[in-house]
Amino acid sequence: MRPQSEVALLDLVRFFDRHRIRHLIIGRRAVILYGGPVLTADHDLWVHPLDKKRTLSLLSDGLGFELSRPPDTRNPIVTGFSGMKKYDLFFHKKITTIENEQMTFEACYERSTLVEDQASGVRFRVPSIDDLIRLKKIREPNLKDEQDIEYLLKAKSLIRRTRRPPKT
Protein backbone atom coordinates (compact mmCIF):
# COMPACT_ATOMS: atom_id res chain seq x y z
CA MET A 1 0.00 0.00 0.00
CA ARG A 2 1.28 3.45 -0.92
CA PRO A 3 0.93 6.27 1.61
CA GLN A 4 -1.66 8.91 0.73
CA SER A 5 0.89 11.52 1.73
CA GLU A 6 4.23 11.68 3.46
CA VAL A 7 3.98 11.12 7.21
CA ALA A 8 5.76 13.89 9.12
CA LEU A 9 7.53 13.21 12.42
CA LEU A 10 4.86 15.19 14.32
CA ASP A 11 2.15 12.96 12.89
CA LEU A 12 4.13 9.79 13.56
CA VAL A 13 4.61 10.78 17.22
CA ARG A 14 0.87 11.50 17.52
CA PHE A 15 0.16 8.10 15.93
CA PHE A 16 2.54 6.33 18.34
CA ASP A 17 1.00 8.12 21.31
CA ARG A 18 -2.53 7.28 20.17
CA HIS A 19 -1.56 3.59 19.85
CA ARG A 20 0.45 3.64 23.10
CA ILE A 21 3.69 2.68 21.38
CA ARG A 22 6.57 3.37 23.75
CA HIS A 23 9.32 5.20 21.91
CA LEU A 24 12.16 7.67 22.24
CA ILE A 25 13.38 10.17 19.67
CA ILE A 26 17.14 9.59 19.42
CA GLY A 27 20.02 10.64 17.19
CA ARG A 28 20.47 14.13 15.82
CA ARG A 29 16.72 14.80 15.92
CA ALA A 30 16.92 14.53 19.74
CA VAL A 31 19.90 16.90 19.77
CA ILE A 32 17.79 19.37 17.77
CA LEU A 33 14.97 19.01 20.31
CA TYR A 34 17.49 20.03 23.00
CA GLY A 35 18.20 23.15 20.92
CA GLY A 36 21.22 21.88 19.02
CA PRO A 37 22.19 23.91 15.96
CA VAL A 38 22.47 20.88 13.67
CA LEU A 39 20.64 19.44 10.69
CA THR A 40 19.56 15.92 9.81
CA ALA A 41 17.54 14.37 7.04
CA ASP A 42 16.39 11.22 8.79
CA HIS A 43 14.58 10.33 11.98
CA ASP A 44 15.85 7.79 14.52
CA LEU A 45 13.47 6.25 17.03
CA TRP A 46 14.13 3.66 19.70
CA VAL A 47 10.92 1.69 20.12
CA HIS A 48 10.22 -0.75 22.94
CA PRO A 49 11.10 -4.22 21.62
CA LEU A 50 7.83 -5.71 22.89
CA ASP A 51 5.97 -3.24 20.64
CA LYS A 52 7.93 -4.26 17.52
CA LYS A 53 5.55 -6.48 15.52
CA ARG A 54 2.51 -4.33 16.32
CA THR A 55 4.41 -1.12 15.47
CA LEU A 56 5.65 -2.43 12.13
CA SER A 57 2.23 -3.80 11.21
CA LEU A 58 0.58 -0.48 12.08
CA LEU A 59 3.14 1.46 10.07
CA SER A 60 2.77 -0.81 7.06
CA ASP A 61 -0.98 -1.39 7.10
CA GLY A 62 -2.20 1.79 8.78
CA LEU A 63 0.14 4.43 7.38
CA GLY A 64 1.36 2.78 4.19
CA PHE A 65 5.03 2.77 5.17
CA GLU A 66 7.42 0.76 3.03
CA LEU A 67 9.54 -1.31 5.43
CA SER A 68 13.03 -2.70 4.88
CA ARG A 69 11.98 -5.90 6.68
CA PRO A 70 8.65 -7.62 7.39
CA PRO A 71 6.87 -7.05 10.75
CA ASP A 72 7.89 -10.51 12.01
CA THR A 73 11.62 -9.95 11.40
CA ARG A 74 14.04 -10.90 14.14
CA ASN A 75 16.37 -8.08 13.10
CA PRO A 76 16.32 -5.27 15.72
CA ILE A 77 16.73 -2.49 13.13
CA VAL A 78 14.09 -1.69 10.52
CA THR A 79 13.95 1.30 8.20
CA GLY A 80 10.57 2.69 7.27
CA PHE A 81 9.92 4.99 4.33
CA SER A 82 7.00 7.37 3.95
CA GLY A 83 7.44 9.16 0.67
CA MET A 84 10.86 10.81 0.91
CA LYS A 85 10.93 10.59 4.73
CA LYS A 86 13.22 7.96 6.24
CA TYR A 87 12.67 6.56 9.73
CA ASP A 88 15.25 4.27 11.34
CA LEU A 89 13.52 2.20 14.00
CA PHE A 90 15.60 0.48 16.65
CA PHE A 91 13.97 -2.30 18.66
CA HIS A 92 16.88 -3.27 20.92
CA LYS A 93 16.13 -4.30 24.48
CA LYS A 94 19.59 -3.08 25.43
CA ILE A 95 22.50 -1.39 23.71
CA THR A 96 26.19 -1.54 24.61
CA THR A 97 28.36 1.53 24.10
CA ILE A 98 31.95 1.45 22.82
CA GLU A 99 32.91 2.06 26.46
CA ASN A 100 31.18 -1.26 27.29
CA GLU A 101 28.35 0.45 29.15
CA GLN A 102 24.94 -1.20 28.78
CA MET A 103 21.78 0.82 28.35
CA THR A 104 18.29 -0.64 28.39
CA PHE A 105 15.25 0.82 26.72
CA GLU A 106 13.34 0.62 30.01
CA ALA A 107 15.95 2.62 31.95
CA CYS A 108 16.31 5.27 29.22
CA TYR A 109 12.55 5.60 28.95
CA GLU A 110 12.28 5.97 32.71
CA ARG A 111 14.84 8.81 32.73
CA SER A 112 13.55 10.45 29.55
CA THR A 113 12.05 13.90 29.30
CA LEU A 114 9.23 15.41 27.27
CA VAL A 115 10.04 18.31 24.98
CA GLU A 116 7.02 20.18 23.66
CA ASP A 117 6.85 21.66 20.19
CA GLN A 118 5.23 25.03 20.88
CA ALA A 119 3.65 25.37 17.44
CA SER A 120 1.88 21.99 17.38
CA GLY A 121 1.63 21.11 21.07
CA VAL A 122 3.17 17.69 20.32
CA ARG A 123 5.36 16.38 23.12
CA PHE A 124 8.44 14.45 22.05
CA ARG A 125 9.91 11.90 24.43
CA VAL A 126 13.70 12.14 24.31
CA PRO A 127 16.41 10.46 26.38
CA SER A 128 17.98 12.47 29.18
CA ILE A 129 21.03 14.42 28.06
CA ASP A 130 23.31 11.91 29.81
CA ASP A 131 21.61 8.99 28.05
CA LEU A 132 21.69 10.77 24.71
CA ILE A 133 25.45 11.29 25.14
CA ARG A 134 25.81 7.57 25.87
CA LEU A 135 23.75 6.73 22.78
CA LYS A 136 26.15 8.82 20.73
CA LYS A 137 28.83 6.33 21.84
CA ILE A 138 27.34 3.12 20.44
CA ARG A 139 29.62 3.23 17.41
CA GLU A 140 33.13 4.43 16.69
CA PRO A 141 33.26 8.21 17.02
CA ASN A 142 32.67 10.40 13.98
CA LEU A 143 32.72 14.16 13.60
CA LYS A 144 28.94 14.60 13.85
CA ASP A 145 28.69 12.54 17.04
CA GLU A 146 31.62 14.41 18.58
CA GLN A 147 29.99 17.76 17.75
CA ASP A 148 26.67 16.56 19.17
CA ILE A 149 28.33 15.39 22.39
CA GLU A 150 30.13 18.72 22.74
CA TYR A 151 26.83 20.59 22.34
CA LEU A 152 25.01 18.30 24.77
CA LEU A 153 27.69 18.77 27.45
CA LYS A 154 27.35 22.56 27.09
CA ALA A 155 23.54 22.29 27.24
CA LYS A 156 23.77 20.13 30.35
CA SER A 157 26.08 22.65 32.01
CA LEU A 158 23.75 25.53 31.12
CA ILE A 159 20.71 23.66 32.47
CA ARG A 160 22.56 22.90 35.70
CA ARG A 161 23.49 26.59 36.15
CA THR A 162 19.94 27.83 35.52
CA ARG A 163 18.49 25.39 38.05
CA ARG A 164 20.68 26.53 40.94
CA PRO A 165 18.77 28.33 43.69
CA PRO A 166 19.41 32.07 43.78
CA LYS A 167 22.00 33.33 46.26
CA THR A 168 20.55 35.14 49.27
- How many C-beta atoms surround the C-beta of residue 123 within 10 A? 14
- Residue 127 is given by DSSP the state -
Residue 79, helix vs strand vs coil? strand
Residue 31 lies in a domain: yes
Per-residue confidence (pLDDT) for residue 3, from 0 to 100: 43
Residue 62 lies in a domain: yes
Task: Express each pLDDT in 78-108 by its tens digit.
Answer: 999 999 999 999 999 999 999 999 999 999 9
Residue 4 lies in a domain: no
CATH of residue 136: 3.30.460.40
Total structural domains within the chain:
1
Residue 79 lies in a domain: yes
Residue 167 lies in a domain: no
Per-residue confidence (pLDDT) for residue 109, from 0 to 100: 98
Contact between 65 and 59 (Cβ < 8 Å): yes
Task: Express each pLDDT in 35-84 by its tens digit.
Answer: 999 988 889 999 999 999 999 999 999 999 999 999 999 999 999 999 99
The answer on pLDDT for 13 being more than 90 is yes
Contacts with 103 (C-beta within 8 Å, 6 or more apart), sequence order: 94, 95, 96, 97, 131, 134, 135
Residue 147 lies in a domain: yes
Residue 22 lies in a domain: yes
Q: Which domain holds residue 46?
A: 9-161
Residue 82, helix vs strand vs coil? strand
Residue 3 lies in a domain: no
**DSSP string computed for 44-67:** EEEE-GGGHHHHHHIIIIIH--EE
Separation in Å, CA 166 to CA 155, 156, 158, 160: 20, 18, 15, 13
